[in-house]
Amino acid sequence: MQHTNFTFVLPNDVHVPDIRDLRHYDRPTKSLILLHGLTGTDTDWLYGGVAQDMAVQYNLAVFMPTTGNSFYLDRGYLGGNYCEFIGKELPEYIRKVFGFCESRENTLIAGLSMGGFGALHTAFAYPDTFSGCIALSSALVYNELAGKGRREDDPIPPAMARDIFGDTMNILKSDRNPEYQYQQLKEKGQQLPKIYMAIGTEDSLYAGNVNFSRFLEAQKADYRFEDGPGKHDWIFWNEYIDRGLGWLLQ
């Protein structure tokens, strides 16, 4: 019900001597849906990030959509269901047009900041679509949103939080909370994606990421968490998207 863009990179014209591990070319090309952060767009990972290099190094078809500052959540009406767009509509379109995203095993999702939250949330909302998830410097702000005393000058001011997340006082017991999503999937015995998380130790979102990694540890999830010196910037994200893909595709 509205126009949208996505940018893509396919592993064409590969120069074999430049590939670090040719084993990735002994299998079919896998698909990666790669999400931008707050205020971002579909070209962020192309110009600020290393999407093209990752496509070549890991034999990946990389698709980068744009959704505005939606946090990749459903609003409950046609044209506003961004989670459904990322988790269902876009993979179906890619499958029909490009022939990729043809199976769960060969489909991954990743993102940074707001896109890190979106990658986790979408992977849990559509566990039959994605076998692996990479969440970098994720905006895991649901505990903060559930609290009181938020100000208009916050990065996510109260009016924006209500518009995106709904009733923030009930967010912890809703599908806006990835912890709640994960527990629901586990109770139902559904298959769960492998999860890679990373956060810089100088990042303001560090505490929320550490807490979520402890939650995954308590749930005995198939996950890996890494931190290291770094801020909320492309220097960190470009290094750790490589590390995350290396772990998922080992």
Domain residue ranges in the chain? 6-248
Q: What are phi and psi of 159, to 5 degrees?
A: -65, -40
Q: Which amino acid is at 186?
A: K
Mean pLDDT value across residues 15-39 = 96
The predicted pLDDT at position 217 comes to: 98
The predicted pLDDT at position 2 comes to: 87
Mean pLDDT value across residues 77-83 = 94
Distance CA 137, CA 231 (A): 9
Mean pLDDT value across residues 32-48 = 97
Annotation: CATH topology of 6-248 = Rossmann fold (3.40.50)
The predicted pLDDT at position 69 comes to: 95
Lowest mean pLDDT: which of 145-149, 175-179, 211-215?
145-149
The predicted pLDDT at position 153 comes to: 61
Task: pLDDT band for 205, please (50, 70, 90 cuts).
Answer: very high
> Strand (E) positions, 119-192?
132-136
pTM of the model: 0.95
Mean pLDDT value across residues 97-110 = 98
Distance CA 32, CA 40 (A): 18
Mean pLDDT value across residues 208-235 = 98
Mean pLDDT value across residues 164-186 = 92
Closest CA to 4 of 55, 57, 70: 70
Mean pLDDT value across residues 15-35 = 95
- Write out pLDDT tens, residues 52-73: 999 999 999 999 999 999 999 9
Q: How many angstroms separate the Cα of 132 from the Cα of each of 108, 119, 248?
A: 5, 10, 7
Distance CA 208, CA 213 (A): 9
Name the residue with higher pLDDT: 58 or 15: 58
